[in-house]
Amino acid sequence: MPADNMGLASCWVTCINSKLVFQINFSAGLTVLRPEIPYERQAQNH
């Protein structure tokens, strides 16, 4: 039983870490793309 519990715990840790890394990469990608959005053109159109 202890071995099974350890395996399950490591599986959860891996899953949580992968989700965390994905969120960090996603937010970093948004930060990189934001400056490329032409705010000035949108302001002129409005």
Q: What is the pLDDT along the chain (46 residues), one digit of tens a residue?
A: 566 777 888 888 998 999 999 998 888 887 776 666 666 666 666 6
> Is residue 38 classed as helix, strand or coil in its secondary structure?
coil
Quote the pLDDT of residue 12: 87
Quote the pLDDT of residue 20: 92
Which amino acid, one-letter code, is at 22? F
Quote the pLDDT of residue 1: 55
Model-level pTM? 0.47
